[in-house]
A and B are shown apart, each in its own frame.
Chain A
Amino acid sequence: MTLELSLNQQPAHTRQGSSIGQPLTRRDGFLKVTGAARYAADNHPSGMLYAVLAVSSIARGRVAALDVEAAKAHKGVVEVMTPRNRPALAADPDAKDHPFMFRLDLLQNEEVRYPNQTIAVVIAETLEAATEGAALLSPRYEALPARVGLDDAESFVPRGVGVGNPAVQHKGDVEAGLKSAKTRIEATYETPAQYHNAMEPHAIVAAWDGDKLSIDTPSQGLAMAQGRISGLFGIAPQNIHIRSPFLGGGFGSKGMISGPQVLGVLAARLVGRPVKLVLRREQMYGPVGHRAPTRQTLRMGMDGEGRLTAIHHHAKTASSTFDDFFEPAADASHTLYASPAITTSHEAVRLDTGTPLFMRAPGEATGSIALESAIDEAAHACGMDPLEFRLRNYAEVEPMTGKPFSSKALRECYSQAAKAFGWASRPLQPRLMRDADGFLTGWGVGTATFPAIMFQAEARAVLKADGSGLMETGAQDMGQGAWTAFAQIAADGLGLDIDQVDFRAGSSDLPNAGIAGGSGHTATAGMAIHNAGAAVIARLADLATGNEASPLFGADNEGVVARGGRLYRRDDENRSESYAEILTRAGLTEIEGHGKGAPDAASQETYAKHAHGAVFAEVKVDPDFGQIRVTRLVGAFAAGRVINPRLVRSQYYGGMIWGVSFALHEEAITDRRSGRIQNANLAEYHVPVNADVPSVEAILIHEDDPYVNALGIKGVGEIGIIGTAGAVANAVWHATGVRPRRFPIRIEDLLG
């Protein structure tokens, strides 16, 4: 039988459940608040040594000398790993077999390509000894001038942006559209480099046993990490066991195994003992990815009714000098607003930084803050309310491709959020609202879309003679609640109460659950779980309906329903039998089934699949000081089936707060002479504190989508940022009359 079941079909064996949709609290919550949850760096295998990275203080050049003797002479230091003695690898870390194989700095030579690149690893009996050993290396460099800004290097058109989209895309004739327009706007916006800054730094505990490797490390993609390490060390994937039960945040920076993590494995190999390596906060500003800076220019034309006649979205961004990742910022204009002509284009420079990577909503976050600001400028130029303008340009089909949407409840998002926010009483002109304390008050709106992506995943389901179930998939919980949401899907998939299901995840020896990224994990691994459940229930049903002794004998044609640990005859609920009875009679201790989750190629061709949302923001700005406070955020999101409303709301809250961060706080500030980031710590790299987000509301809009997958799941991990950042920027304009063109918006931008 086919494992891909659609909601539209009537399969012979179905499950009914009530776990999906329940606002369960996190199943791992107790472990986390009691400190019992074991994160990677909590592991201490016996005989373990500590490795500390020595990192480059220059941005570009080469290491001329290291005082290895001084480091080695330090008490407790066991070994210093440099390009000279680093164990051989089976593959060149600079090789790039496919676009998603990122080049790693694994001490392949003395060259320095960015600040904080590893130049040696010191391994010692204690963390303190290793730390001091690293300081004693006192490197000497031959330094070259650093290239750090978007104007510091020659620009070019990259071959592809993001996950390989064309750098330039056209629909219609933008120049003609602009020419025919009654009103035109053009504006340029800048976004800074940002760093993921997960609370948990990248960490690894690695232990070799001959050719077998055991690893504890946070990973958003266990199978990919396993594959990469397998390639680098020339050992079979099944000889590598990675445990990643909990991540203290990833946001994309733990999607691929990073250079420092592999260096931990190399260090363990060099000394023949288990090794732990944990990055210091400032060491996370370089080798583990970041969001590249952008400079985006938007040109738009509108007809007499405020309809867009053309959108040109151009983005300049940067990658490292040695690898390719180009923030696809302009692509945000592909999906949001209807226009007969759209051009998106990118150019890039190469800078002396670590390679930028996926960072929560890559492209969408950067692109949408510029697009949403420009849309606001366009609305104002047409004398229209920004929400009305957005509705006037509502995309009934995907603007760039003309494909119908698999579902799109964006109108509902706008109307419900606008109502909850009280948008209707907004004055059109800026700088007209003041609160009782004299603060300039402004309201802004932003629209969000994020593609409903699926990867590939597998799961294994087991039903046991004692009536309980087991579901296994190597899913990754970054804190988003995968342990809980997947257990809910598993419970319904197995027709069991959630407490009767043993759900296992977070380990590479389980079926490949795909990557926890692209907001696609719940859909992808969720579908694998769902289908594995279907497969094992089908087997169970065959056992029952084919056995004369069963009350379900002969029900094959009518079908059975699995619910609460029993199978019921669909047309006669009085006839039923428990899983335990069926298996016991069959003399089986357990049966298993396998399932896959994957995008459906046919519907992919036919439909544009996106989650949508609308965010409204209120800001108050001190008229003398330019100090901005976001006082209210209301978002409404339609993202298909909601597995757990509590977890989904948390994702929206977190995303929306990140949007505030994008608009007002986050920025890596670089010393232009040295190329070094000068605020590489959490005291000075600002994210919002609680006092910065007094009121956040997320409304869940009901949406049934029969095309994305049988469960109807889109994704909620990234969409919260999108729209929010623009809404805040637009609210700042509405409060002050000053249009933010550079992010984050600072006091000095509004001092007047």
Chain B
Amino acid sequence: MRDFSYFRASSLDAARQAAALPGTMLLAGGTTLIDLAKCGVAEPDTLVDITHLKGLDRIDVNERGATIGALAKMGHIADHADIKSRFPAISEALWQAASAQIRNMATIGGNLMQRTRCPYFRGPANFSACNKREPGSGCSAIGGVTRGHAVLGTSEACIAMYPGDLATALVAFDATVHLGERKLLVDDFFLLPGSTPDREHAIEPGEMITSIEIPSSAAAHRSTYLKIRDRQSYEFAAASAAVGIEFEADGRTIRDLRVALGGVATKPWRARAVEEALKGKVLEPETVRAASRLAVEGAVDHGANHYKIELAPRVVARAILKLGETA
């Protein structure tokens, strides 16, 4: 077999020190990493198991916001009463992701770090060209099977879609990711592929995600995550939207609006143009539909994924209108 060493970290510092070494990877729930190792994408020399670190699985919710430890399980967060009531979009994004079995294993640190489902990326034995895997090798997806690929944020080097649901909800509500001492907006944590699609996150060797912090807001409180897909469950999004809304005292005029798209972009995609177009407006179906089209401004398709450009604005509009109904 391909030998690798396994190391169970007993402290955060030990984990980070070990992770700084080349060829080392952190192991959390393993639902992404083991999969990638099996298909030959991940070839770690050392696995640092962080699942035994104490205190990293806490979920704290107070007036200011929610702080969720990197080792908290997707399922626990989805079911957490305060998350459900104050951040419905976060809970909904999680329980519509993957399967119950995976949610019981998977951590949110690992969830943010999950990789694209691009089949060419995941098939190194069969497709040598993949700029994400091998910088400069080319992109096998372009001209191939692209139904699941991104239409936003793509580059000539890579059109891979970021598949996670949670991160989409996080960018909508200005969540930050804590890397020990350093913290970053989730929106800044994920990088556009540009000419370096191999670099997906603003994380340095020796850093690890310790927690996620989501600030409280009226928009987060009144929020939803709408996920559209061919199959009812256990499928990545064809298009999804995390939306939060705050109305003026009249209950109709939009004071604050948050919109992020999933399933259509190379990273969790904040749709600020939609937000700006609707802020200060009265919530009307026609206005919302027209503004929602701004969500896909600049979108580029590669054939089979063209439908995402049609679909995504409709998902955004529905999510906004649905939140309006509950006024």
Contacts and interface: CB of A to CB of B under 8 A. Distances in A.
Contact of A751 (B119, B123, B145, B310): B310
Interface string A532-573: 000000000000000000000000000000000000000000
B144 A678 contact: yes
Contact of B145 (A57, A669, A683, A691): A669
12 contacts: A128-B2, A625-B228, A665-B230, A673-B144, A678-B120, A678-B123, A678-B145, A683-B117, A689-B234, A744-B230, A747-B238, A748-B311
B326 to A, nearest CB: 14
A686 B231 contact: yes
A60 to B, nearest CB: 14
Interface string B108-125: 000000000101100101
B236 to A, nearest CB: 9
Contacts of B310: 748, 751
A57 B125 contact: yes
Contacts of A689: 231-234
Interface in B258-300: none
Given A135-B40, A669-B147, A746-B230, A684 B119 contact: yes
A90 to B, nearest CB: 34
Contacts of B127: 674, 676
B54 to A, nearest CB: 32
Q: Is the interface of B mostly helix, strand, loop or mixed?
A: loop
A693 to B, nearest CB: 9
Contact of A625 (B143, B232, B306, B311): B311
Contacts of A135: 2, 40, 125
Contacts of A692: 231-233
B233 to A, nearest CB: 4
B100 to A, nearest CB: 11
A747 B143 CA distance: 22
Contacts of B311: 625-626, 747-748, 751
Given A624-B318, A625-B311, A747-B307, A686 B235 contact: yes
A488 interface: no
Interface string A107-142: 000000001000000000010110110010000000
Nearest to A126: B1
Closest 8 CB pairs of A and B: A128-B1, A748-B307, A691-B232, A678-B119, A57-B126, A691-B233, A678-B145, A624-B314
Interface string B295-327: 000000000001100110011011000000000
A673 to B, nearest CB: 6
Contact of A132 (B2, B119, B125, B231): B2
B229 interface: yes
What range describes how many residues of B lie at the interface?
A: 20 to 34
B307 A751 contact: yes
A735 to B, nearest CB: 16
B93 to A, nearest CB: 17
Nearest to B128: A57
Nearest to A746: B230
A209 interface: no
A135 B314 CA distance: 45
A688 B314 contact: no
A76 interface: yes
Contacts of B230: 627-628, 664-665, 686, 744, 746-747
A751 B310 CA distance: 8
Interface in A716-752: 744, 746-748, 751
A622 B310 CA distance: 14
A69 interface: no
Interface string A619-636: 000101111110000000
- Residue with the highest number of chain B CB atoms closer than 10 Å, among A131, A671, A684, A689: A671
B306 to A, nearest CB: 8
B235 A625 contact: no
Given A627-B229, A627-B230, A672-B144, 15 more contacts: A57-B125, A126-B1, A132-B1, A627-B228, A664-B230, A665-B230, A684-B119, A686-B231, A686-B235, A688-B231, A689-B231, A747-B228, A747-B238, A747-B311, A748-B310
A679 interface: yes
Contacts of A665: 230-231
Interface in B120-151: 120, 123, 125-127, 143-145, 147
A128 B126 CA distance: 20
A629 B231 CA distance: 8
Interface in B211-260: 228-235, 238
Nearest to A280: B38
Contact of B119 (A76, A679, A691, A747): A679
A194 to B, nearest CB: 15
- Residue with the highest number of chain B CB atoms closer than 10 Å, among A678, A689, A746: A678
A625 B241 CA distance: 13
A681 to B, nearest CB: 9
A622 B229 CA distance: 11
B5 to A, nearest CB: 15
Contacts of B318: 624-625
B102 to A, nearest CB: 10
Contacts of B306: 748
Given A128-B1, A686-B230, A625 B307 contact: no
A129 B262 CA distance: 40
Contacts of A57: 125-126
Contact of B144 (A128, A628, A671, A679): A671
A360 B120 CA distance: 31
Nearest to B147: A669
A676 B126 contact: yes
Interface string A655-687: 000000000110001111110101100011010
Interface string A51-79: 00000010000000000000000001000
A625 B314 contact: yes
Contacts of B235: 686
Nearest to A131: B1
Nearest to B308: A748
B53 to A, nearest CB: 28
Interface string A419-438: 00000000000000000000
Nearest to A625: B228
B97 to A, nearest CB: 13
A676 B123 contact: yes
Contacts of A132: 1-2
A133 B126 CA distance: 17
B118 to A, nearest CB: 9
A50 B125 CA distance: 21
Contacts of A672: 144
Nearest to B317: A624
A686 B123 CA distance: 19
A198 to B, nearest CB: 19
Nearest to B228: A625
- Residue with the highest number of chain B CB atoms closer than 10 Å, among A128, A132, A748: A748
B43 to A, nearest CB: 10
A684 B234 contact: no
Contacts of B119: 671, 678-679, 684
A251 to B, nearest CB: 20
A460 B314 CA distance: 66
A669 B119 CA distance: 11
Nearest to A56: B126
A539 B318 CA distance: 76
A677 B234 CA distance: 20
Contacts of B317: 624
A671 B232 contact: no
Contacts of B232: 629, 689, 691-692
